[in-house]
Amino acid sequence: MSETTVKSVYFEETGRQNSARTLEIAKQRAEELGIRTVLVASTLGETGAQAARQFQGYDVVVVTHSAGFRGPNTQELTEENRAAIETAGARILTCQHALGGIGRAVRKKWGTYQVDEIIAQTLRIFGEGMKVVVEIALMAADAGLARVGEPCIAIAGTGRGADTAVVLVPAHVQQFFDLRVMEVLAKPRLA
């Protein structure tokens, strides 16, 4: 029987103070496995710019909040960070959230949860970043920016910054249950 031993780092606190270490851990594992696709969640773009610089030469996809997430006609990604991400050679994906689209509208209008938000809440049992890494992988696969069935690195965080990194195999939203989290590289311990 074969097995793989992978080091997992568990942070005592959530948040951006873990960003540099999370990106370092993710890059080391990407190099070990020969993975070239890196997905990273970023709201204002700070984490996306940091990841784009650290993973230069990789296929980096920075996944932002959808336009209008914080109100009509808003985009949280700053122009400065957009430029830094693109200058470093990364791509930016801004689209509907895979686990909070029309279901969120139904909840806000009628006060009842839909399947997508129930799945999101279930994934949050493992931490906010674990929900987000799954979500951005679905979004990137649906946009054709991550290959279904091929392992990639996905990086996200709790609030701002990065504190969660995994190796996963993306799937399209309509094949959600084919997505596989293969390795947890880093996440908050959430004691």
pLDDT tens string for the chain (191 positions)? Answer: 899 999 999 999 999 999 999 999 999 999 999 999 999 999 999 999 999 999 999 999 999 998 887 888 889 999 999 999 999 999 999 999 999 888 888 888 898 888 999 999 999 999 999 999 999 999 999 999 999 999 999 999 998 999 999 999 999 999 999 999 999 999 999 86
* Spatial distance between the Cα atoms of 122 and 135, rounded to a whole number of angstroms: 12
Pairing of strands 91-93, 9-11: unpaired
- The tokens of 136 are what? 């951005």
* Spatial distance between the Cα atoms of 24 and 41, rounded to a whole number of angstroms: 16
Model pTM score: 0.95
Which domains does the chain possess?
A: 15-65+74-188 (3.40.1380.20)
Among 63, 85, 66, which residue's Cα sits nearest to residue 134? 63
At 122-171, the pLDDT tens digits run 999 999 999 999 999 999 999 999 999 999 999 999 989 999 999 999 99
* Spatial distance between the Cα atoms of 111 and 47, rounded to a whole number of angstroms: 33
**In whole angstroms, how far apart are CA 5 and each of 8, 95, 181, 185?**
9, 36, 15, 11
